[in-house]
């Protein structure tokens, strides 16, 4: 009877054992290695690194394995580890113009300096399930570009900026501290650096839906994919002790620069505006969605009328984090006996009052004047 709510300790221990057994599955099937996850489920690893804000393929792969492939759970594991790490500074700004390009496309110009590089993409695959893949098969060697170095690949938005057709890219103040919403609570209205940090950590699905909503008319921004680039960039850190920037290593990034229409205002001539997206690894859908939402959230700064959810900073930034969202949604599983009991008492009392009223007995208490 009352013992039903007892024994939490043993139940938790047994649940953990059962969970571990379910993760492993049939012992006759070989166990996944982290290298397999990192290489063959690379996009899952990229997403965990991006939304977990932790660039470490091995830890991300471990998180995915431990989470049975539940990516939000894996992101949570990465975040809970990341938050314990000491923060010793901020890197120098990375220069994506110097990126070692693996893929670079522009939807605004047919050809441009450095050319279009299709690279590894699902874009033009036919989505037909491939039975041959089920067994694993030998692959043809991918083609290599001839002549090696394709020369410089300037960013499309930099080319547009030469004619003043697009707003200049805002330059960071080198002396200003770098905002970090994991160290200071987010305050509204938020500056763009913090908004971008929030979006970079934000849930891919949430940003995808918001970005999509702007395309369907809820805060339309007339976007063009000015450029999407994927490749490796070097990260440098200014070391006080030696007095110059030292390379820390290389990271893979996906960058998306959206080019959006701007009607102009009383004081400004019409010109294109920017929306920016950046993600670790190869996360094109995320980078594009982020760029759409970034541009929408600039409505206030650009003097546009605020009318759609994607333009509402408090709405977007307060609900983008999937670790927070999943926690609060799933916390409904926790016991709420006490609150429910309080509601039961209240609902029973209100029903009694209604019943009494219906049967013409004691009239309902008069409201306060």
Partner 1 sequence: MNAPAYNFAYLDEQTKRMIRRAILKGIAIPGYQVPFASREMPMPYGWGTGGVQVTAAILGPGDTLKVIDQGADDTTNAVSIRQLFAKTAGVCTTTHTAEATVIQTRHRIPETKLGEDQVLVYQVPIPEPLRFLEPRETETRQMHAHADYGLMHVKLYEDIARHGHISTSYAYPVKVDGRYVMDPSPTPKFDNPKMNDCAALQLFGAGREKRIYAIPPHTTVVSLDFEDHPFEASRTQASCELCGADDSYLDEVITDDRGGRMFVCSDTDYCEARREARP
Judged by the rule CB under 8 A, the positions of this chain that interact with partner 1 are: 1-2, 4-9, 11-12, 58-59, 62, 76, 79-84, 86, 182-189, 314, 318, 323-324, 326-331, 334-339, 341-346, 349-350, 353, 364-368
Question: Which residue's entry shows tokens 């960039």?
Answer: 233
Q: For residues 211 and 276, give the distance between their C-alpha atoms in angstroms, rounded to a whole number.
A: 12
Q: Residue 224 Cβ, how far from partner 1 at the closest point, in Å?
A: 33
> Which residue's CB is nearer to partner 1, number 150 or number 178?
178
Q: Residue 249 Cβ, how far from partner 1 at the closest point, in Å?
A: 15
> Which residue's CB is nearer to partner 1, number 9 or number 135?
9
> Which residue's CB is nearer to partner 1, number 24 or number 349?
349
Identify the DSSP state of 53: T
Q: Check: CB of residue 258 under 8 Å from CB of residue 227.
A: no
Dig out the tokens for 61 from the structure. Answer: 């792969």
> Which residue's CB is nearer to partner 1, number 233 or number 299?
299
CA trace torsion 290, 90, 324, 311 (10° rounding): -30
Element (H, E) at 78: helix 71-82
> Which residue's CB is nearer to partner 1, number 216 or number 331?
331
> Which residue's CB is nearer to partner 1, number 10 or number 216?
10
Q: Check: CB of residue 179 under 8 Å from CB of residue 187.
A: no
Q: Residue 183 Cβ, how far from partner 1 at the closest point, in Å?
A: 5
> Which residue's CB is nearer to partner 1, number 263 or number 341?
341
Q: For residues 198 and 187, give the distance between their C-alpha atoms in angstroms, rounded to a whole number.
A: 12
Q: Residue 359 Cβ, how far from partner 1 at the closest point, in Å?
A: 16
Cα dihedral sign, 91-95-100-104: positive
Q: Residue 52 Cβ, how far from partner 1 at the closest point, in Å?
A: 10
Helix, strand, coil abundance in the chain, percent, nearest 5: 40, 15, 45
Question: Which residue's entry shows tokens 């995915």?
Answer: 64
Q: Check: CB of residue 227 under 8 Å from CB of residue 237.
A: no
Strand partners, 206: none
Please choose, from the candidates 197, 216, 218, the residue with its C-alpha nearest in 3D space to the C-alpha of residue 278.
197
Q: Residue 332 Cβ, how far from partner 1 at the closest point, in Å?
A: 8
Identify the DSSP state of 84: T
Q: Residue 73 Cβ, how far from partner 1 at the closest point, in Å?
A: 9
Backbone dihedral angles phi then psi of residue 305, each to the nearest 5 degrees = -70, 130
Counting DSSP H helices and E strands in the chain, the numbers are: 13, 4
> Which residue's CB is nearer to partner 1, number 14 or number 98?
14
Q: Residue 46 Cβ, how far from partner 1 at the closest point, in Å?
A: 19
Strand partners, 224: 259
> Which residue's CB is nearer to partner 1, number 43 or number 82?
82
> Cis bond leading into 189, ω under 30°?
yes
Q: Residue 112 Cβ, how far from partner 1 at the closest point, in Å?
A: 42
């Amino acid at each position: 009877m009352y013992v039903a709510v007892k024994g939490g300790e043993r139940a938790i221990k047994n649940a953990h054992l059962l969970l571990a057994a379910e993760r492993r599955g049939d012992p006759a099937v070989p166990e996944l290695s982290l290298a397999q996850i990192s290489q063959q489920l690379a996009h899952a690893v990229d997403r965990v690194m991006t939304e977990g804000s932790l660039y470490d393929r091995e830890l991300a792969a471990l998180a995915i394995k431990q989470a049975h492939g539940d990516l939000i759970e894996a992101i949570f594991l990465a975040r809970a580890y990341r938050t314990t790490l000491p923060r010793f500074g901020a890197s120098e700004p990375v220069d994506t113009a110097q990126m070692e390009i693996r893929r670079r496309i522009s939807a605004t110009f047919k050809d441009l300096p450095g050319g279009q590089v299709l690279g590894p993409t699902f874009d033009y695959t036919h989505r037909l399930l491939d039975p041959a893949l089920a067994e694993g098969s030998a692959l043809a060697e991918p083609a290599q570009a001839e002549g090696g170095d394709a020369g410089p690949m300037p960013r499309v938005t930099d080319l547009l900026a030469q004619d003043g057709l697009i707003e200049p890219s805002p330059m960071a103040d080198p002396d200003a501290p770098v905002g970090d919403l994991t160290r200071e609570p987010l305050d509204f209205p938020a500056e763009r650096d913090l908004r971008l940090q929030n979006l970079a950590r934000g849930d891919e699905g949430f940003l995808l839906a918001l970005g999509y909503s702007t395309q369907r008319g809820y805060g339309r921004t007339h976007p063009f994919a000015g450029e999407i680039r994927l490749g490796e960039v070097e990260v440098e850190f200014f070391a006080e002790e030696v007095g110059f920037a030292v390379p820390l290593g290389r990271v893979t990034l996906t960058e998306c620069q959206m080019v959006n229409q701007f009607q102009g205002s009383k004081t400004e001539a019409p010109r294109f505006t920017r929306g920016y997206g950046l993600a670790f690894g190869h996360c094109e859908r995320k980078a594009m969605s982020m760029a759409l939402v970034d541009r929408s959230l600039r409505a206030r700064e650009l003097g546009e009328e605020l009318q759609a959810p994607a333009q509402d900073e408090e709405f977007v930034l307060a609900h983008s984090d999937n670790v927070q969202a999943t926690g609060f949604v799933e916390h409904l599983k926790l016991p709420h006996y006490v609150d429910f009991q309080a509601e039961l008492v209240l609902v029973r009392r209100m029903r009694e009052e209604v019943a009494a009223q219906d049967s013409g007995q004691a009239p309902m208490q008069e409201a306060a004047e």
